[in-house]
Amino acid sequence: MAQTSPLLVTGGAGFIGSCFVPFMIGRGHALVTLDALTYAGFRHNLAAVMTAPGHVFVEGDICDGDLVADLLRRHRPHAVVNIAAETHVDRSIDGPAAFVRTNILGTATLLEECRRHWRDLPSAERGAFRFLQVSTDEVYGSVAQGQSSEGAPYSPTSPYAASKASADFMVRSYFRTYGLPTLVTHGTNTFGPRQFPEKLIPLMILNALDGQPLPVYGDGGNQREWLYVQDHCAAIAEILDKGRAGESYNIGSGRHLANLEVVRTLCALLDDLAPRPDRRRHSEAITHVTDRPGHDFRYAVDCAKLGVETGWSPMTDVAEGLRTTVRWYLDNEAWCRSITQSGYRRDRLGLASHA
């Protein structure tokens, strides 16, 4: 349902954010987008809606409390959706401090400024206000069997997952201590257009197009639950509209694939859509490399609560989503080239040893 006051969306120029912002604008929402435009956030990700009526883009950091307070005061949003985060596990292994700063301190800054803003709102606006934290299924750690429900204990193993778990606890504390109406979402491995190519799927696509090796960690048997980005955004929107304050909600597809199976599927799609000049199969470039430290074997979430309370279910079959994603990268060479020009060379990250 459209609102007269805007949403404040943080991290809106990144991967999930640059899908969520147009999605919500398409639903009739006014939006204020806040993004620090770090290495994985780009203005051109929002080119289609940058000048849309009711959309305001602000370059800035969620750790800047004065800026956040000013945006809340001037725009009086009815909800804040925090998508801003450092998200790549390998980068968190190499440099955890950035994850502590953005994911923990940034979330804490947003929460405190939102609490002050919410406290001073008229009663009707106070009741309607929501703070939604976009988190990850990785906070649950590896799941040997079955699925993680929202009540499962946290067991993060990487600095990334630990930073997101810490932020989740801060969000919970602001609900229980201050009554701030919060929501937390735990999304599974999300893929689709405009994903920065440090992540598995775009990395494999771009390496294959460049004739480079396709590095797969270990034996490639690590399993993930794969979710198309448009479905993830639709779930967030439903939770924002229908979720109960103080609750958390898992978001997943129910479709589990091992990493090696994903890479082989991408290779088959590329054989069809972008054959190698030498006519050899793209899968011949698959190379198994040393696994990363602390690599969780399996993630799986129970999404029954989300379906019952909101009616949401994923609309995009994973195979269809992978084909759409491959086509997007094939059709957007300029976007891919801009990543290389920004200095990222798709080098291996996360090589820290236990020594």
Locate tokens 């001037």: which residue?
74
DSSP H or E stretch at residue 136: strand 130-136
Quote the pLDDT of residue 1: 41
* 170 domain-assigned: yes
CB 42, CB 21: distance < 8 Å: no
In a domain, 16, yes or no: yes
Res 3: pLDDT? 56
* Helical H segments across 179-317, by residue range: 200-209, 229-242, 259-273, 304-310
Q: Which pLDDT value is given to residue 355?
A: 42
**Residue 278: inside a domain, yes or no?**
no
Residues taking part in catalysis: 137-138, 160
Which pLDDT score, from 0 to 100, does residue 345 have?
78
Q: What is the pLDDT of residue 204?
A: 98
Q: According to DSSP H, which parts of the chain are helical?
A: 15-26, 65-75, 89-94, 96-99, 107-119, 123-128, 159-178, 200-209, 229-242, 259-273, 304-310, 318-331, 333-341
pLDDT at 4: 74
Q: What is the pLDDT along the chain (355 residues), one digit of tens a residue?
A: 445 799 999 999 999 999 999 999 999 999 999 999 999 999 999 999 999 999 999 999 999 999 999 999 999 999 999 999 999 999 999 999 999 999 999 999 999 999 999 999 999 999 999 999 999 999 999 999 999 999 999 999 999 999 999 999 999 999 999 999 999 999 999 999 999 999 999 999 999 999 999 999 999 999 999 999 999 999 999 999 999 999 999 999 999 999 999 999 999 999 999 999 999 999 999 999 999 998 999 999 999 999 999 999 999 999 999 999 999 999 999 999 888 777 787 888 877 654 4
What's the CATH code of the domain at 51? Answer: 3.40.50.720
Q: How many domains does the chain have?
A: 1
337 within a domain of the structure (yes/no):
no
Task: Write phi, then psi, for 181 (nearest 5 degrees).
Answer: -75, 100
Domain that holds residue 164: 7-192+226-254+294-317
- Distance CA(95)–CA(161), nearest Å, equals 13
> Up-side HSE of residue 327: CA atoms within 13 Å toward CB?
6
- Give 123's strand partners: none
Task: Provide the pLDDT for residue 353.
Answer: 55
CA 252 to chain centre: 12
326 in any annotated domain: no
> Residue 171's closest CA among 64, 249, 98, 97?
249
Give the count of beta carbons closer than 10 Å to the beta carbon of residue 226: 22
Domain-embedded: residue 37: yes
> What residues does 226 pair with on adjacent strands?
189
